[in-house]
Structure 1
Amino acid sequence: MGFFSRLKESLAKTRETFVEKIDQVFTGRKGIDEELYEDLEEVLIQADVGVQTAMTLVERVRKGVKARNVQDPARLKDIFQEELEYLMGDKISPINTNPDGPTVIMVVGVNGVGKTTTIGKMAHNYKEQGKKVLLAAGDTFRAAAIDQLEIWADRVGVDIIKHQEGADPGAVAYDAVHAARSRKADVLLIDTAGRLHNKGHLMEELRKVHRIIAREMPGAPHEVLLVLDATTGQNALSQAKIFSEAVNVTGIALTKLDGTAKGGVITAIVTEMAIPVKLIGIGERMDDLRPFNPKDFIAALYGLNKEDE
């Protein structure tokens, strides 16, 4: 089964709460009235699209109906899909790279979102491309985080820079940047802590790590990738805002899209955050983390067919 088929399968629950419920709003209506638009907005909010994005979508549908003088509610399905495609765009945003090498990617996000797994899968993908990859265990507050990243390093077959639990994360970043240079690594993936219960301290620590990376390698980090968990719905949007205030987040990896009914949150992330979604994760397999293609995502969300990659 190709990636598109797996994506379509993984969005089954989101399809139920998003596409099917929206279709129900348009079905069996005698005409297009204010109640229809209110019902559409309510369904979108319940599908974790978010209030702001829901209002924007409904307003665009309203204008589309007026511009085309549509009378039949059944035609709203196509108009809605067109407006959703317009809002999501069709641009694929690749991970930023450093042509002069190494590419330094700082990975941020709260604990439990799949940060370490995302790093492991990225390392695997880069290694498959023939690149030399180095990992850095910058979450020094949890021994488990260091151990987990070490397991991934062994599994993928890449080197890891680590210090003892409780060490200064800035020192890990410093050593990792210098090791990446001296070992002629193509990609350096730096893990970071994600303890939101001590938000102020965590954000200052992330800023410090960012400053050290930038000082030791001008232009780095070339990507600050924020990992978000799709199953948390609107909480993912709140996390995106918090991390964006602390460091210049350049891209988002949305994980755990498989088995969640809250995949609609990706619409809010794309339209409200002005930060590109660069990667999506749909399962446990090594190759279940892929670049985010908005057109493919909407096609899979609607259960349409497409040639597998």
Structure 2
Amino acid sequence: MINKQDLNVKKKHGFLNYLKKNLIKTTKNLSQKIINLFKRKNIVNEELFNKLKETLIISDIDIHTTNKIINLTKNYAQKNKIQNSCKLYDYIKKEMLKILLSVEVPLIIKNKKPFIILVIGINGVGKTTTIGKLAYYFYKQKKSVLLASGDTFRAGAYEQLSVWSKRSHSILLEKNKKKDSSAIIFDAISYSKKKKIDILIADTSGRLHNNIMLMEELKKITRVIKKNNNMVIDEVMLVLDANIGQNSINQLKIFHDSVGITGVTITKIDGTAKGGVIFSLANKFNIPIRFLGSGEKITNLHLFNAKNFINAIL
């Protein structure tokens, strides 16, 4: 008979293997080069740190975060009079882990109906797919979920969400003829309150070709939700594509300045060589990273775990 502890260990190793498999390109960029520098007996000097700097930047870690890691490592080496690079590998790994631990904050569903999650992000990042995976994630926790099709501009957005609704055992109201996304989400909130739905996940438009229009639309949605008996958005979740690297920093800044991001989900981690940008996002914004996602399988959405992530790439 398998006990609960054994199951947890199996689950933990399963997720670690999943990360290792999906982060193989990031690992190639980062891990192998760091191992070559710090697992072999190299002299600790300026040339070594320059090579480390190049490695971190190539892995899509921004210059500010890169300098932070290097300066901490330099100071540690000088303070402890370390001349053998092998003795610095564990320290670098520990400092990189610290950066990620600051954003390892799972999404806690409050005992409030409905718990409102507003999902935002530009077109093409996997926003609708993430919504479907989120709905299934909560369905497995025995929560009732309603999806609101707030993307009224992208052709086929409702139909795509309808497919994910069926797959995730969630509710999707009939297609609303209203073109105003805030009005659609307002109606979904009213329905959720009436039917005592646990969680409402609202889709939004992702037309970043016109930042001003999109941001004003998102601001309007937040205002309208507050007008529905002073309801509040419990989670403003930004979906980012891991493959866009440093551009995700700009996206997070734009959206956060406009509507205030409370959590981030990073998609398409499978096959990306730019997974290092997660360190930049964590260090620069300190906004919780909730989930990592990959592929089209409805189960391929996992709680972000800093230690597993570090062990997978280093």
- Deviation (angstroms), 1:154: 1.8
C-alpha RMSD of matched pairs (Å): 1.8
* 1:167 matched residue in structure 2: 179
**Cα distance in 1, alignment partners of residues 196 and 74 from structure 2:** 56
SS of equivalent residue, structure 1 residue 42: helix
- Mark the CA change 1:161 to 1:155 in structure 2 (over 3 Å): closer, same or farther: same
Task: Give the TM-score normalised by structure 1.
Answer: 0.93
Partner of 1:230: 242
Distance in 2, matches of 1:178 and 1:164, equals: 14
Pick from 179, 195, 199 the counterpart of residue 207 of structure 2: 195
Alpha-carbon distance in structure 1 between the residues aligned to 2:196 and 2:39: 60
* Secondary structure of 1:143's aligned partner: coil
CA separation in 2, counterparts of 1:238 and 1:157? 35
Question: Does structure 1 residue 279 correspond to structure 2 residue 298?
Answer: no
Cα distance 1:258–1:221, how it changes in 2: closer, same or farther (>3 A)? same
SS in 1 for 2:210: helix
Matches within 5 A, 1:49-198: 49-89=61-101, 92-161=104-173, 163-164=175-176, 167-198=179-210
CA positional deviation for 1:89: 1.9
Structure 1 residue 293 and structure 2 residue 270: aligned? Answer: no
Deviation for aligned residue 1:296: 1.4
Alignment partners' CA distance in 1, 2:99 and 2:76: 14
C-alpha displacement of 1:28:
5.9
Shift of 1:165: 6.9
Q: CA deviation at 1:46?
A: 1.0
Q: Specify whether residues 301 and 246 from structure 1 end up closer, same or farther in structure 2 by C-alpha distance, changes over 3 A only.
A: same
Shift of 1:248: 1.1
Residue number among 32, 37, 44 corresponding to 1:20 in the alignment: 32
Q: 1:46 aligns with which of 52, 55, 58?
A: 58
Secondary structure of the corresponding residue to residue 111 of structure 1: coil
Q: Give the Cα separation in 2 of the matches to 1:96 and 1:224.
A: 13
Q: Deviations over 1:70-100 (max 9, x none)?
A: 1102222222111111222266312142312
Task: Flag the 1:123–1:132 CA change in 2: closer, same or farther, 3 A.
Answer: same
Aligned partner of residue 224 in structure 1, secondary structure: strand
**Structure 1 residues 178-187 or 27-36, which shifts more?**
27-36
Q: Counterpart in 2 of 1:305? A: none
Q: Counterpart of 1:263?
A: 275
TM-score by length of 2: 0.91
SS at structure 1 position matched to 2:116: strand
Secondary structure in 1 matching 2:209:
helix
Secondary structure at 1:254's aligned position in 2? strand
Report the residue type matching 2:270 in the other structure. Answer: D
CA distance in 2, matches of 1:178, 1:163: 16
SS in 1 for 2:72: helix
Is the CA contact (8 Å cut-off) linking 1:90 and 1:293 kept in structure 2?
no
Q: How many residues of Structure 1 are paired with residues of Structure 2 in the alignment? A: 302
1:245 aligns with 2:275: no
